[in-house]
Structure 1
Amino acid sequence: MGEPLSSEALFLIVERLFLALLVVSLLALVAVVARRFLLERGGAVECYLRRAVGPHRAWRIGCGRYGSDELSWYRIFSLWPRPAAELPRRGLVVMGRRSPTPEDLAELTGDLVVIEVGWAEPDGSDPKEPVYELAMGEGALTGFLSWLESMPPGTIWQS
């Protein structure tokens, strides 16, 4: 068996390990900030998302990016390049609008508006229950509703 490490050698190992962890943490932070900058530069808006029903109903902060046929929602604190949720535009219905409840205010701020969304039934009728809830500011909500009601020129929806 080898000799025990001296306190100086042990201190040097711990110091280098700490510096390596610090560098990795800083690189991850820079990557998250750069990803958010690129998302917002591409026209994304900040909004919160949660499932309307189910066991995991915590609000998650993210950015919504409008596409021609879907809203792609990305988590803010993630390095994953793909959206965490995609809300297809076809058949998307806003089922309700409200202010945050006292329970919501534990995770949201009072200046946000919460909307419930779902998708139309196959027969064209309105959905019976919401699938997601989105929380966003008034300006972002106006943009969302405009996106939902408009359709890019030349777009042909497939049945």
Structure 2
Amino acid sequence: MRELLISLEIAGACALLLLLTLVLVVLRRRRLERRLGTFDCSVRRPAAGHGRWALGVAAYRSDRLDWYRTFSLSPRPSCSYARGALDVVGRRDPDEQEAVAVQPGAIVVECRLREGLLATDLELAMGEDAYTGFASWLESAPPGQNVNVA
């Protein structure tokens, strides 16, 4: 009987820990969404071996785009992309397989990310309104930052 009670206590503690983690993830997401200049954005780096879409929230900063993974507890961004290093190559509708991995109604924005002497492909999936804001943010870069918006 005592072993059963201990097992139930352990199961209850695990369930409570799981619930607490879920609540913290939801609170973090709400805090991120309340900031000015945030939008839902999925990220994929196909050339770097990260062929899977990752859901998240992006936030504009003056010189970079910070991206926060949805299912994370970290207060820091998972990735940051310098404004001057991003070039928009094109945009397209997601194919059938991508449509289930990104937000409904999203478009895929194909970008080149210049990192030193290398340039890698980066794809961002966002809503049409978010793309308009993203393109405006890139175009409004201060003089001297060579940005390209297709």
Q: Deviations over 1:1-40 (max 9, x none)?
A: xxxxxxx201110111111111111110111001101110
What letter matches 2:54 in structure 1? R
What letter matches 2:68 in structure 1? Y
Structure 1 gap segments, 5+ residues each: 1-7
* Within-5 A mapping of 1:108-119: 108=102, 111-119=105-113
Partner of 1:142: 132
Distance of aligned partners of 1:95 and 1:16 in 2 relative to their CA distance in 1, 3 Å threshold: same
Structure 2 gap segments, 5+ residues each: 146-150
Q: Name whichever structure is richer in strand by fraction.
A: 2
Give the deviation of 1:121 after TM superposition: 9.0
Which secondary structure does the structure 2 equivalent of 1:57 belong to?
strand
Partner of 2:7: 14
1:52 aligns with 2:42: no
**Which TM-score applies when normalising by structure 1?**
0.80
Larger radius of gyration: 1
Partner of 2:92: 98
8 Å CA contact 2:114–2:120 kept in 1: the answer is no
**Aligned sequence identity (%):** 41
Partner of 1:3: none
Structure 1 segments, 4+ long, off by >2 Å, are 119-123, 155-158
Distance of aligned partners of 1:109 and 1:74 in 2 relative to their CA distance in 1, 3 Å threshold: closer
What letter matches 2:80 in structure 1? E
* Within-5 A mapping of 1:54-133: 54-108=48-102, 111-119=105-113, 131-133=121-123
**Which TM-score applies when normalising by structure 2?**
0.85
8 Å CA contact 1:95–1:130 kept in 2: the answer is no
Give the deviation of 1:105 after TM superposition: 2.3
Distance of aligned partners of 1:130 and 1:121 in 2 relative to their CA distance in 1, 3 Å threshold: closer
Instruction: Count how many residue pairs are aligned between Structure 1 and Structure 2.
Output: 144
